[in-house]
Every structure is written in C-alpha cells, then in structure tokens.
C-alpha cells in the first residue's frame, strides 16, 4: 500500500510502499478515502523540537480521516465491513483513574494515531474498534475527514452554556471558524472572530460570524462598540495560542466571563492574574475531544442542521491527490487556506 511516512529523523516525509497493516482481534481495518492535514502533521514534517522528542521513526503520520471498513477483528461486533467511518485519534489505556471513571479524554497514557503509532496517511489504517466512529452512508466524505478538528471546535465551543451569549473567537484557523459556526448554531447572540489574515477572516464571515476583526488594524473593543455591546464578552474561545490574543481577550471579557483555551502557545507567556481574579474570570484548558460525548454532539448537530454542515464544508478550501502531498503541505503551511484534504481513494 501507499503510505506517507517519516522514515528517519530529520525534516521531510516519503511516500513509500509498505505491507498492509494487520487487523488484531479487537481492531478494525479501514480503507482511507479522505484525510485532513493538521498543524501536528506540519510539525512532524518539519521535524521541530517537539516532533524530535515525540516521534520514533519509521512512522506513518496522519490522524484526521474518513474511509470504508474492510475488515473487523474476531472479537468486534460493534462495527461491520462496508460501513463508512471516521476515527478518534487518541488511543487510551482503559485502566488509569480517568479512564475507569469515564473520563477517557484525560487518560494519562494516551497514544496518538499518526504520532505514537502508524496513522492514516496511507491506503489503510488499523485502529481499535472502540476508536471507530461509524458515519451515516450519506455523509460527505470531506466532512467525515474533518471530524477530528470539528470535534476540537465542538469540545471548545460547548464547554460553557452559550445560548444568548456574546462570544469572542480568537484565531480564524479551521477550528476557530468551525467553533464560530457552532456558536451560532447553538444560539449565541453575537459571534466576533479575530485574526491577522483577511483570507481566514472571510472564511469566518462566510461560516456565520457576525463581525470579524483583523487585529493588525483594529481592536476588539471597536467591534464591541460597533455591535452596541455595552459590556464585555460572556464567552471566549481562544484558538490562536498567541500571547497578545489572550491578553486582549482578558481585557475585553465581562466580569464573570468564561474562557475556553484550545490554542497551544509556542512558549510560556504572562497573564494578568489580577484581572482574572478581580473580574472573576473562569479559564478552562481544552484538549482533543471528550470521548465520546463530543462525537455524539457533532453527529447530532450535523443531522439537525444542513446549514451547519454547509459551514463545516466551507472550511475545506483545498483538495489534493495523495501523490501531491508536498503541494498539500506547502498550501497548509502558507496560511492562505482553510482546511486541506488529501484524497487517498
């Protein structure tokens, strides 16, 4: 089979031929049809400090995917051959305190598909049956391929009650744009999205944002004034990982506001804890998806709203055949894009 792999330490990837993976008794083998490019994949291709400390080549990368089930293990009765499916990218131990308490997304021994074990940038991927999310037959394969980042957006946006609230989304990457669309779907009053890229801000506007702010030219406070907001934001979804975004977010929150933080910073940065304390702000870190409550919510929201599915699909701006993987990576790295999909069919 074809596989895009990190064959040795150092920058770069190779599209190589490998034997098809073996399906264990509790596993499911999926023929990959579509796969999404993630920032994690860019780190692995570039072989930065994090990648060098995390990945042990040879390793097939990729963890956002959609495909067709072609084989199930002898002990699997929850998935059938022929079904279409996406996959949860975090494989958990099932035995630590959090796993046993039903908080699997907090497993202390999580293993990442495409990071710590062979991933989905290949013709076939094998994952535990418990990680398979069976999709409706009529789901757009491209939407199925972005269920992982859509789950990040849903986990972040649904962390706090959002109906009727004023919501700030900092960072108009694909997850931020999907977070804005979810906020509108759930019933937020105003959704304001910030970034420094006009291209990505237009994606956010198309997905339903009431106001977009290029913070290279304008301040969040100006957006509040233009919308007639007399108080600060009730909810913030921090998707950028930039210190300046966090600083300006805290400065524009209503007293008692709540901030869900998904964006990973490149380095530590200071926070005005005095304002956090005196304004009684709540800050919550977000990682991955709640397993599997977030997945149920994603499927239910899409099933009940054609407009939300359209908004999610609109985030996908570029599609490449698997053989053009270098073009896909270059496009994703450019920032002048939304979600990039590779076609493995």
The SS3 call for residue 8 is: coil
Is residue 297 included in any domain, yes or no?
no
Is residue 293 included in any domain, yes or no?
no
Gap between the Cα atoms of 181 and 59, Å rounded: 35
Same domain, 116 and 167: no
Q: Which of 265, 285, 305 is the last residue of a domain?
A: 285
Task: Give mean pLDDT in consecutive 10-residue pieces for the chain, a chain of 345 residues.
Answer: 97 97 97 96 94 95 98 97 97 96 96 97 98 96 97 98 97 97 98 97 97 97 94 97 96 98 93 97 96 96 96 97 98 94 97
The SS3 call for residue 156 is: helix
Counting the structural domains of the chain, the total is 2
The SS3 call for residue 277 is: helix
Gap between the Cα atoms of 64 and 220, Å rounded: 33
Specify the pLDDT at position 244. Answer: 96
Specify the pLDDT at position 26. Answer: 97
Beta bridge partners of 36: 64, 341
Same domain, 11 and 132: yes
Specify the pLDDT at position 190. Answer: 98
Same domain, 171 and 138: no
Beta bridge partners of 249: none
Same domain, 14 and 141: yes
Same domain, 45 and 108: yes
Residue 165's CATH number = 3.40.50.720
Domain containing residue 187 = 154-285
Same domain, 139 and 10: yes
Specify the pLDDT at position 266. Answer: 86
Same domain, 161 and 228: yes
Same domain, 165 and 136: no
* HSE-CB for 81 with a 13 A CA cutoff: 6
- From the candidates 40, 194, 249, 294, which is the catalytic residue? 40
**Residues 289, 293, 299, 303: is their CA dihedral positive or negative?**
negative
Same domain, 122 and 74: yes
- From the candidates 7, 22, 43, 317, which is the catalytic residue? 43
Is residue 125 included in any domain, yes or no?
yes
Residue 82's CATH number = 3.90.180.10
Is residue 299 included in any domain, yes or no?
no
Whole-structure pTM over 0.85, yes or no?
yes
Same domain, 207 and 339: no
Q: Is 105 one of the catalytic residues? A: no
Q: Is 90 one of the catalytic residues? A: no
Residue 197 neighbours by CB under 8 Å, 6+ apart? 172, 214, 335, 336
Same domain, 142 and 159: no
Same domain, 183 and 137: no
The SS3 call for residue 119 is: coil
Is residue 300 included in any domain, yes or no?
no
Is residue 308 included in any domain, yes or no?
no
Is residue 309 included in any domain, yes or no?
no
Is residue 60 included in any domain, yes or no?
yes
């Amino acid at each position: 089979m074809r596989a895009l792999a990190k064959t040795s330490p150092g920058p770069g990837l190779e599209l190589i031929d490998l034997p098809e993976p073996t399906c264990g008794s509790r596993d499911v083998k999926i023929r990959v049809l579509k796969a999404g490019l993630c920032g994690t994949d860019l780190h692995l291709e570039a072989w930065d400090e994090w990648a060098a400390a995390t990945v042990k080549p040879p390793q097939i990368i990729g963890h956002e995917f959609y495909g067709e089930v072609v084989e199930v293990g002898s002990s699997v009765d929850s998935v059938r051959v022929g079904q279409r499916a996406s996959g949860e990218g975090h494989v958990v131990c099932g035995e630590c305190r959090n796993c046993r308490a039903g908080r699997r997304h907090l497993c202390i021994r999580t293993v990442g598909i495409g990071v710590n074990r062979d991933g989905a940038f290949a013709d076939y991927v094998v994952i535990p049956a418990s990680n398979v999310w069976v999709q409706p037959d009529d789901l757009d394969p491209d939407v199925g391929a972005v269920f992982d980042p859509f789950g990040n957006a849903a986990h972040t946006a649904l962390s706090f009650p959002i109906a009727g609230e004023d919501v700030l989304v900092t960072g108009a990457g694909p997850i931020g744009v999907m977070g804005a669309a979810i906020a509108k779907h759930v019933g937020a009053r105003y959704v304001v999205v910030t970034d420094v890229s006009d291209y990505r801000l237009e994606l956010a506007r198309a997905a339903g944002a009431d106001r977009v702010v290029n913070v290279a030219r304008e301040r969040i406070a100006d957006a509040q004034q233009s919308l007639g907001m007399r108080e600060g934001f009730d909810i913030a979804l921090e998707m950028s990982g930039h210190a300046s975004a966090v600083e300006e977010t805290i400065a524009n929150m209503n007293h008692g506001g709540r901030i869900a933080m998904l964006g990973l910073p490149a380095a530590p940065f200071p926070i005005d804890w005095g304002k956090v304390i005196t304004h009684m702000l709540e800050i919550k870190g977000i990682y991955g998806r709640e397993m599997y409550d977030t997945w149920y919510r994603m499927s239910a929201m899409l099933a009940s709203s054609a407009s939300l599915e359209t908004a999610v699909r609109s985030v996908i701006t570029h599609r490449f055949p698997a053989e053009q993987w270098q073009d896909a990576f270059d496009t994703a790295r450019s920032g002048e894009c939304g979600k990039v999909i590779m076609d493995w069919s």
